[in-house]
């Protein structure tokens, strides 16, 4: 009986310490001033919208900047047969994405745990972005300066500040959801 109580007490302590770590982690994330993107996978309704409206050329290359767990890349690989590379800085989404890709046998996509600024964006035919407006504004000059002139940027939910999209895809309610850009 005493052993059960000790085990339950230790389990309770573990849960309390874990929950405090989670709360502390969320607070630190909310108030930190670095350039990590928050991990939010693409919504299924946006994936469906892209599936129905995008006309991408098969066997081309796509890069996902701050790809999270690679959900969007798996969609692009499965639907359009694209070769995808993704860049993620946070540990959890990176490891989770690597695990899912390994279990589901996705061989045409790779996730790298590094900043995308070290890569050559001219290699890619498509650039996928799902970031908050403040992060998009920070990377906009670098992307448009270093991208291939024939590349298309696919932005999920948010627009760039300076450049205007050449095509806007709206959802069923008429809300602009997917923005397509070209280098001009």
Q: pLDDT per residue over 8-59, tens digit each?
A: 777 776 677 656 555 555 555 555 544 567 778 888 999 999 999 999 999 9
Would you state the structure tokens that stand for residue 148, as one six-digit string?
A: 């291939």
Q: pLDDT per residue over 93-146, tens digit each?
A: 899 999 999 898 888 889 999 988 889 999 999 999 999 899 999 999 999 999
CATH class of 44-182: alpha beta
Q: How are the residues of the chain apportioned to helix, strand and coil, as percentages rounded to the nearest 5?
A: 45, 20, 35
pTM value is: 0.80
């Amino acid at each position: 009986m005493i052993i059960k109580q000790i085990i339950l007490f230790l389990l309770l302590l573990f849960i309390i310490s874990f929950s405090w770590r989670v709360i502390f982690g969320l607070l630190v994330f909310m108030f930190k001033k670095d350039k990590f993107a928050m991990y939010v996978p693409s919504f299924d309704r946006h994936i469906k919208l892209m599936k129905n409206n995008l006309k991408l050329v098969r066997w081309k290359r796509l890069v996902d900047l701050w790809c999270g767990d690679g959900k969007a890349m798996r969609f692009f690989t499965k639907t359009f047969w694209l070769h995808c590379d993704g860049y993620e800085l946070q540990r959890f989404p990176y490891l989770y994405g690597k695990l899912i890709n390994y279990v589901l046998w996705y061989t045409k996509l790779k996730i790298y745990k590094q900043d995308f600024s070290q890569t050559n964006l001219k290699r890619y035919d498509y650039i996928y972005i799902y970031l908050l407006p403040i992060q998009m504004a920070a990377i906009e000059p670098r992307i448009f300066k270093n991208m291939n002139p024939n590349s298309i940027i696919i932005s999920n939910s948010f627009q760039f500040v300076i450049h205007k999209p050449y095509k806007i895809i709206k959802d069923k309610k008429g809300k602009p959801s997917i923005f397509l850009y070209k280098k001009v």
